[in-house]
Amino acid sequence: MAWKEIPEIEAKKHELYGVGGWLLLFAILLPVSLLAFWGTLAGEARSLGVGVGELLAVDHPAITHIKVSLGVQTALVIVVSWLIVQKSSAFRVVTTGMLLSYYPVVVLVGMVNPFDGQVQGLVQAGIGWVVSCAIWVTYLQRSRRVRITFEQMVRLADPDAPASTAVVSPSTGSAAHPPMAEPPSATVAPQIAAPVAASSFASMDSPSEEYWAQALQEVEGADRRPGLWARAFAHAKGVEAVAKANYLEFRVKELQQEHQAQLADEAEQLRQQAEEARIAELPEERRAFERLPKGTCPNCSTLQPLASLECPKCKAVFGPDSAWTLIPAGSAASVSAVA
């Protein structure tokens, strides 16, 4: 896939410039995964009746392995987060290298300090690492948002690139010509993570040109939707020219909402994949617990398996003969209880 450089001022005007979409999800998941690591470690320490510091102070190859994994992951979060904040041109290359080298480093440490159960743990961690790299390394290499934001580059065939711009990568040796302004296109980057919150693809105040073109083709052709046209005509008080303008506005808003809904579905799918990858890295007993249906205690809001007969925190008793009943996690009542 060929890319070419564009001036920084043109890159900043691009609709995909900035940390949004799947890139924002990636930036969020990094510290979240580190916090999940700490949470799992704290849970293990609690089950042994010691603190996290005491557990990490134990002189054992398994603990050494955990400390190295924790250190590497912490370094990954710090370095990548700093590159994102600085919008460094080295972001894509450095991040890709750190993601790919994370597991080999962990394996190497395990070979130097072997311990019982090591192979099973490495296999489980390897599965999660492969899934994570398959998603995020591919995204970093193919994402238009990443290239535009950090490297000020667009695809050679990208309609968003100024038509007369001849600024290319230094390796080509081609002469550069001044760029001419070009209206933004509606082509969207192939995205993988994003919380719907920060996509800069389009907003209600500046709809994409492609949507206007589609709406215009509909209103002038046989694909015009009768119901929407009737609504537009009624709002226009029977004035056809105004009705056409109303139809365009209504239809463009619908197209934008459909696109945002699609982004939300993709984000949810990726969240589920990331959650499965996280669970795959856990010990077998912990994985079984994570996959159990959960509920919250109506008395103290503690999250626990839905089949629990007694709350481990407040000792409330559940069951058909009890006044207490666990609230299924994710329900409106559960959210209200936690709040």
Query: What is the tens place of the pLDDT at every residue in 71-120?
Result: 888 999 999 999 999 999 999 999 999 999 888 888 887 787 777 777 87
Q: Is residue 252 one of the residues assigned to a domain?
A: yes
Q: Is residue 271 one of the residues assigned to a domain?
A: yes
134 and 226 housed in the same domain? no
55 and 124 housed in the same domain? yes
130 and 34 housed in the same domain? yes
Q: Is residue 91 one of the residues assigned to a domain?
A: yes
Q: Where are the alpha helices (DSSP H) in the chain?
A: 8-13, 21-47, 52-56, 61-86, 91-112, 118-142, 144-146, 209-220, 226-235, 240-280, 284-291, 332-338
Q: Is residue 198 one of the residues assigned to a domain?
A: no
Among the listed ranges 94-108, 193-207, 214-228, 289-303, which one has the minimum average pLDDT value? 193-207
Residue 187 and residue 339: Cα distance in Å, rounded?
Answer: 41
Q: What is the pLDDT of residue 113?
A: 73
Grouping H, G, I as helix, E, B as strand and the rest as coil, residue 294 is strand
Q: Identify the domain containing residue 321 by its residue range.
A: 293-338
131 and 225 housed in the same domain? no
Residue 187 has pLDDT above 70, yes or no: no
319 and 247 housed in the same domain? no
Residue 161 has pLDDT above 60, yes or no: no
What band does 193 get if pLDDT is binned at 50, 70 and 90?
very low
21 and 67 housed in the same domain? yes
Contact yes or no for 125/281 (Cβ under 8 A): yes
Across 287-303, b (16+ Cβ under 10 Å) vs e yields: eeeeeeebbbbbeebbe
Q: Is residue 160 one of the residues assigned to a domain?
A: no
327 and 266 housed in the same domain? no
305 and 213 housed in the same domain? no
Q: What distance separates the 2 farthest-apart alpha carbons in the chain?
A: 83
145 and 231 housed in the same domain? no
Q: Is residue 195 one of the residues assigned to a domain?
A: no
80 and 111 housed in the same domain? yes
Q: Is residue 226 one of the residues assigned to a domain?
A: yes
Residue 101, both tokens: 């080298």
Is the pTM for the entire model greater than 0.75?
no
8 and 129 housed in the same domain? yes
Residue 149 has pLDDT above 50, yes or no: yes
Q: What total of structural domains would you count in the chain?
A: 3
310 and 269 housed in the same domain? no
Contact yes or no for 19/84 (Cβ under 8 A): yes
Residue 162 has pLDDT above 80, yes or no: no
Mean pLDDT of the chain: 77
Q: Is residue 258 one of the residues assigned to a domain?
A: yes
15: Cα within 13 Å, side-chain hemisphere: 21
Give the pLDDT mean for 15-42. Answer: 88
Grouping H, G, I as helix, E, B as strand and the rest as coil, residue 218 is helix
Residue 42 and residue 50: Cα distance in Å, rounded?
Answer: 9
29: Cα within 13 Å, side-chain hemisphere: 22
